[in-house]
Amino acid sequence: MRTNRGTRRRVQALIVGFAATVIAASGAAVALGAKGDLRLISRQSVADGGAGANSWSYGGDLSANGRFAVFSSEATNLGPYDPGASRTIYVQDLRAGQVETVSRQSASAGGMPAEIDSRSAEISDSGRFVVFQTEAQNLGGPIVASENIYVYDRREDRVQLVSRRSKTGGGGGANEDTDSPSISANGRYVAYQTRATNLGGPIAGDGEANVYVYDRKERRTILASRRSHGGRGGNSNSFEASLAPSAPVVVFESQASNLGGPIHPNASANVYAYDWKRRKLELAARRSGNGKGPNSAADVPDVSASGRLVLFETDATNLGGPLRGPDGTRRLYVHDRKTGRTSLVSRQSKGAGGKGANANSGSGEISNSGRYVAFNTEATNLGGPIASTLNVYVYDRERKRVVMASRGEDGGPGADDYAAEPGLSGNGRFVAFYTPAMNIDPADEPAFHGNFPPATNVYRFQVR
């Protein structure tokens, strides 16, 4: 479903030239519009006037039913913020029309906003919990590093440090920076990457980044980037963790050569899935039939709710097609860990020929069921109307149909500037993205288009 992890490394390669709210239960009904509806996420509460954020906004992750959206912003008109922070994390309730600051202290500690930048936020399925990374030193501890991971509970108005040692190990904070967090559907588990050496092992201990999972209920930290059955940690860096929303599985990319395979000698990074209950690690980016790994790096993974389907991106040429684009074109694949089948998903609708995207695709997210995949792409052969070099699409794996999402409402024009970092709701009905486009604002929700370069805004498109 969802692992919008802030400004992903691959997005930049694709862009050329450039007060607590009532929490709904996960299954609660949402006031849905219709297919093709577009909403502005980065805006004030309706009670404050509903104006668009007055500076750049980024990201956009959605709760399972699409009602709640979390994003980061440099705006000064959305709610409480600290002047020392260039980015603050907010949650927009799209049904109630209310926005709130969530990168902040617990209410019992005063509730003041984070004093320095916060970013890379994700929201739990119900919308109750938000995980984010921050440089702030005023949110509680014990902290050691300059950048840490916190979870904010919107119902209890409480923030908790999660980049830390297990309770049995003293519970101290990570001794190096932590980033790229991911949260489970119920908010119990958080995964992240860090070069910390005090969180447990066995790690190689030579400065490598490792992936950990923190169990907020048991207050336990688990090393995930390791060999099966309690084996050694990876002998090189592991990054970009993504938690299965409803299973004890975390996927990540790794440059390690000792985590098992079969990996291809030309691949500088591979994607793995770790089941911490079974203590089993397996290669999750590979050819169909549980064949060999890709013949080039595979990275930036995401995973379905059950942990069965793993999405990843790669420019490999040995995973099947039909492929389009020049050598080095990045594509998105889904690997089924149960059947062993790997399939291309950055592609045309079946009715248009089903060919692969003819240019780079990335920043993929998969829905809870695994049926829907959102991504951004430079491709020009997936349908339109296209008005920019980078656009957001959603692919329906069951119907084999792709839909352009970065466009005006009700069949309106394509965004006239890049659109990036899709955040897919768990049910696959909605997708969020950010863009500096000036031509897609909903009729009653005008965005702010000042600043230079033009301010980016966050929108939610209804796919179905």
**pLDDT tens digits for range 106-155:** 999 999 999 999 999 999 999 999 999 999 999 999 999 999 999 999 99
Residue 4 lies in a domain: no
* Distance between CA atoms of residues 110 and 199, nearest Å: 29
| Contact criterion met (CB below 8 Å) for 66 and 30 | yes
Work out the pLDDT band at 206, boundaries 50, 70, 90.
Answer: confident
Asked if the model's pLDDT at residue 83 lies above 70, the reply is: yes
| Contact criterion met (CB below 8 Å) for 331 and 357 | yes
Residue 3 lies in a domain: no
Sheet (strand 270-275) strand order: 238-243, 249-254, 270-275, 280-283
Alpha-carbon distances, residue 341 vs 274, 289, 320 (angstroms): 19, 6, 10
C-beta contacts of 13-16 below 8 A and 24+ residues apart = 13/360, 13/362, 14/360, 14/362, 14/363, 14/376, 14/377, 14/378, 14/390, 14/420, 15/389, 15/390, 15/418, 15/420, 16/378, 16/389
Q: Which residue's structure tokens are 């000036």?
A: 438
Instruction: Tell me the CATH number at 44.
Output: 2.120.10.30
* Distance between CA atoms of residues 76 and 228, nearest Å: 48
Work out the pLDDT band at 205, boundaries 50, 70, 90.
Answer: confident
| Sign of the CA dihedral with 18 first, then 135, 80, and 185 last | positive
Partner residues linked to 133 by β-bridges: 119, 149
First CA to last CA across the chain, in angstroms? 16
Alpha-carbon distances, residue 393 vs 49, 109, 379, 463 (angstroms): 31, 43, 10, 9
Query: Secondary structure of 386-453 in the HEC alphabet?
Result: CCCCCEEEEEECCCCEEEECCECCCCCCECCCCCEEEEECCCCCEEEEEECCCCCCCCCCCCCCCCCC
Q: Cis (ω within 30 of 0) for the bond into 262?
A: yes
Residue 114 lies in a domain: yes
Supply the pLDDT for residue 31: 54
Structure tokens given for 173: 């904070």
* Distance between CA atoms of residues 12 and 420, nearest Å: 9
Q: Cis (ω within 30 of 0) for the bond into 294?
A: no
Q: What is the CA radius of gyration of the chain?
A: 21
Q: What is the mean pLDDT of residues 10-36?
A: 49
Residue 146 lies in a domain: yes
* Distance between CA atoms of residues 274 and 332, nearest Å: 21
pLDDT, tens digit, 9 for 90 and up, residues 386-422: 999 999 999 999 999 999 999 999 999 999 999 999 9
pLDDT, tens digit, 9 for 90 and up, residues 46-56: 999 999 999 99
Asked if the model's pLDDT at residue 26 lies above 80, the reply is: no
Structure tokens given for 102: 């969530």
Q: What is the mean pLDDT of residues 163-184?
A: 98
* One-character DSSP codes across 23-56: PPPTT-------TT-EEE-SB--GGGT-PBPSS-
Residue 1 lies in a domain: no
Asked if the model's pLDDT at residue 18 lies above 50, the reply is: no
Residue 216 lies in a domain: yes
* Distance between CA atoms of residues 136 and 9, nearest Å: 22
Supply the pLDDT for residue 15: 39
Supply the pLDDT for residue 27: 39
Q: In terms of pLDDT, which residue wins out, 222 or 16?
A: 222
Structure tokens given for 166: 């297990």
Number of domains in the chain: 1
Residue closest to 45 by CA, chosen among 87, 101, 7: 101
Residue 420 lies in a domain: yes
Supply the pLDDT for residue 21: 37
Residue 210 lies in a domain: yes
* Distance between CA atoms of residues 106 and 436, nearest Å: 33
* Distance between CA atoms of residues 232 and 202, nearest Å: 6
Percent of the chain with pLDDT over 70: 93
Residue closest to 301 by CA, chosen among 241, 359, 245: 241
Percent of the chain with pLDDT over 90: 91
Supply the pLDDT for residue 33: 77
From the centroid of its chain, how far is CA 189? 15
Report, in this order, helix, strand and coil percent for the chain, each rounded to 5. 5, 35, 60
Domain hosting 158: range is 9-462
pTM to 2 decimal places: 0.94
| Contact criterion met (CB below 8 Å) for 262 and 287 | no
